[in-house]
Amino acid sequence: MRADRGALTPMQRTLRLDAWAIAWVLAWGGAWSLLVMERILEFHEGFLRTALVALGFALIAGSARWATRKLVGSRLRHLLLLLLAVLALREGFRKVLRERYTASPPLKEVKPGESLWHPVTTTDLALRYYALESTKLSVERLRVVFLTDLHVTPALPLAYYEHIHELVSAQHPDLIVMTGDYASQPQNIALLARLFTRPWPARFGTFAVLGNHDFWTDAARIRKTLSAGDVSFVSNGCERLPDSVGRVAICGTEAPWGPALSGKLDGRDLNLVLSHTPDNIYRLAEQGASLVFAGHTHGGQIRLPWLGAAVVPSRFGRLFDQGHFKVEGADLFVSAGVGADAPSVRLYCQPEILVIDIDRE
């Protein structure tokens, strides 16, 4: 009688195997996804990267049935549960860190309405306003407009990019800062040039660094194209604003794809640092950055309702996907960017321009 109660029916055995197969895919798929996010996505786009990603997931899914038959009844199944627990703990730890680092929400937002029934948000451009204070200014206020990840492409209407230009101009910026990924294909650089034939009005200039896609496409040509539009590059260096503004330096780094910011920054200055990726934040805070502007994450580009970004190309996963953070004394602004690439669509993830007003304290 006891043996009968312990025996499993064929249906129960199938369900048990299915449960372990799901656990296998979740555990190893989760581990592989973290590896993809934190390492492989830094590789140059192309056959090798695509093959590595596809091969990893194919092996995990393809081996699920075989592996679970071996695991059931074996002590090795506990290793699978341990891996799931480690992944859960890691995400939990990062969630705690995110809550610790999260700084002020936007003071104001101007954006199209969001709805569960409106998933495609590719051109639903939002404006988000923030405010900070500094004792290092001589002027009453320094307005910084931050845009990143244009990824210009004919897949999006030209009117959208013109709208970006109009919105930036309407903010009457003192500074415009841009943190890379202007074009992802050589044939799109001509379109990029059209956007910079008109000046981007900023009282003290427009400053920029390059991103990984710029290096993978044609860094020299993109740099030349933007420079023709009066954009100043601050790669691995700093430029000072006029003394009448106060002690303000604009610095930049393109690490890991380009040069890193070398040397300690002057602690007497308000150091505004441009970095394509937020992954540099700890190093930059240590070097004396006051504010860091970063993109690259696209806010995930594809976000799930209530769950957030599905995949973020960062060594820190979803920790710094989008928003305002305070990290080791430095203010970090991570923008979801204004463009979209591979594919040219955003789901539940609005493009955005950030406006940061720095008032004299």
Find out whether 276 and 296 touch, Cβ atoms under 8 Å: yes
> Given this model, what pLDDT does residue 6 score?
55
Domains along the sequence of the chain with CATH: 2-99 (no CATH), 107-360 (3.60.21.10)
CA distances from 257 to 38, 115, 180, 210 (A): 14, 37, 11, 9
> Given this model, what pLDDT does residue 24 score?
80
Among 193, 171, 185, 128, smallest CA distance to 338 is for 128
Amino acid, single-letter form, for residue 298: H
Q: Determine the angle formed by the axes of helices 47-62 and 10-38, rounding to 10 degrees.
A: 160
CB-based contacts of 81, cutoff 8 Å, min separation 6: 23
Residue 59 CA to residue 318 CA, distance in Å, equals: 25
Q: Exposed (0-12), middle (13-18) or buried (19+): which is 46, by Cβ within 10 Å?
A: exposed
Residues (pLDDT < 70) of the chain are 1-8, 13, 16-17, 37
Find out whether 196 and 178 touch, Cβ atoms under 8 Å: no
Q: What is the dihedral of CA 218, 190, 183, 53, to 10 degrees?
A: -80
Other CB atoms within 10 A of residue 38 CB? 16
Where are the extended beta strands (E) located within the chain?
108-110, 126-134, 141-147, 175-178, 206-208, 231-233, 237-240, 248-253, 270-275, 291-294, 303-304, 308-309, 323-327, 330-334, 352-360
* pLDDT tens digits, 182-239: 999 999 999 999 999 888 889 999 999 999 999 999 999 999 999 999 999 999 899 9
> Given this model, what pLDDT does residue 4 score?
45
Q: What is the DSSP string of 58-116?
A: HHHHHTHHHHHHHHTTSTTHHHHHHHHHHHHHHHHHHHHHHHHHB-PPPSEEE-PPP-T
CA distances from 307 to 78, 300, 311 (A): 28, 11, 11
Q: Determine the angle formed by the axes of helices 47-62 and 64-71, rounding to 10 degrees.
A: 40
User: For 301, how many CA atoms within 13 A lie in the half-sphere containing its CB?
Assistant: 18
pTM of the model: 0.89
CB-based contacts of 65, cutoff 8 Å, min separation 6: 17, 21
> Given this model, what pLDDT does residue 8 score?
67
SS (H, E, C) 143-169: EEEEECCCCECCCCCHHHHHHHHHHHH
Residue 304 CA to residue 116 CA, distance in Å, equals: 10
Q: How far apart are the first and last CA of the chain?
A: 81
Residue 329 CA to residue 288 CA, distance in Å, equals: 9
